[in-house]
């Protein structure tokens, strides 16, 4: 099989099973934002690729965008509550026990940037995994956290999915 045949097969499968893409998008965004899974799950690359497939399959963008935003938002909420509840005991939980510097770096970043660290951290790999946790550990007021959380989840979801979806639409208009 050529790469084009494989891509066309994947697009056909997505079109035939369109309803399955919705929970997949939600759980990938949730996992990418959840502290213990984000370090192990390459969801950003998968979501970028799914954006292209979604664009090629003509699946409605708005529900996909909403589900990705909800997943990212809820993943950070869970991470915040883990930090808020367990405080510094989280350092004993794997994978943080194997990478304690992530928590130290996250705390330093949080102390420097405050509520903006939640927003900024969403867009930078390992920081995405620990900033909600650190904000919970440090006792950031929930209102400030949730404001930064929802704003960053909306922008992150759009920036992950839209290039593929809109890129395919643009290319199809441009090429023909």
Residue spans per domain, the chain: 3-175
Q: What is the pLDDT of residue 44?
A: 84
Nearest residue to 97 via CA among 89, 86, 108, 85: 89
* Choice between 140 and 87, residue whose per-residue pLDDT is larger: 140
The pLDDT tens digits for 134-149 are 999 999 999 999 999 9
| Chain mean pLDDT for the chain | 86
CA 117 to chain centre: 16
The pLDDT confidence band at residue 36, using thresholds 50, 70 and 90, is: confident
Whether residue 94 has pLDDT greater than 80: no
Q: How confident is the model at residue 8 (pLDDT cuts 50, 70, 90)?
A: confident
pTM, whole model, 2 decimals?
Answer: 0.86
Determine the average pLDDT of the residues in 30-34. Answer: 92
pLDDT at residue 139, as a whole number: 93
Mean pLDDT lowest among 98-107, 118-127, 149-158: 98-107
Residue 176 confidence (pLDDT): 61
H or E stretch including 35?
helix 35-38
Instruction: Quote the CA–CA distance of 38 and 156 in Å, as a whole number.
Output: 15
How far apart are the two ends of the chain, measured CA to CA in Å?
26
Lowest mean pLDDT among 18-22, 75-79, 99-103: 99-103
Q: Mind giving me the DSSP string for 58-71?
A: T--HHHHHHHHHHH
Bigger pLDDT: 134 vs 13: 134
- Percent of the chain beyond pLDDT 90? 47
Q: Which residues contact 110 (CB under 8 A, 6 or more apart)?
A: 117, 131, 134, 135, 138, 140
Q: Which helix (H) or strand (E) segment is 123 a member of?
A: none
Query: What is the rounded distance in angstroms from the CA atom of residue 132 to the CA atom of residue 122?
Result: 9
Amino acid 153: pLDDT: 97
Residue 99's SS3 state is: coil
Rounded to an integer, what is the distance from CA 66 to the centroid of its chain? 12
Rounded CA Rg of the chain: 18
| Per-residue model confidence (pLDDT) at position 118 | 93
CA distance 88 to 21: 37
Residues in the chain: 176
């Amino acid at each position: 099989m050529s790469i084009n045949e494989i891509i066309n097969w994947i697009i056909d499968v997505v079109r035939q099973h369109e309803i399955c893409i919705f929970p997949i998008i939600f759980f990938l965004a949730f996992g990418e934002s959840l502290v213990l899974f984000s370090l192990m799950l390459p969801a950003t690359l998968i979501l970028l690729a799914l954006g292209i497939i979604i664009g090629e399959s003509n699946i409605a963008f708005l529900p996909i965008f909403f589900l990705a935003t909800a997943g990212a938002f809820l993943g950070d909420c869970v991470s915040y509550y883990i930090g808020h509840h367990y405080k510094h005991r989280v350092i004993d939980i794997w994978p943080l026990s194997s990478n304690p510097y992530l928590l130290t770096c996250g705390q330093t970043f949080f102390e420097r940037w405050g509520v903006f660290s939640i927003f900024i951290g969403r867009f930078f790999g390992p920081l995405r995994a620990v900033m909600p946790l650190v904000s919970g550990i440090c006792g950031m007021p929930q209102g400030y956290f949730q404001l930064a959380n929802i704003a960053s989840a909306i922008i992150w979801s759009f920036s992950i999915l839209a290039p593929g979806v809109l890129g395919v639409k643009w290319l199809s208009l441009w090429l023909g």
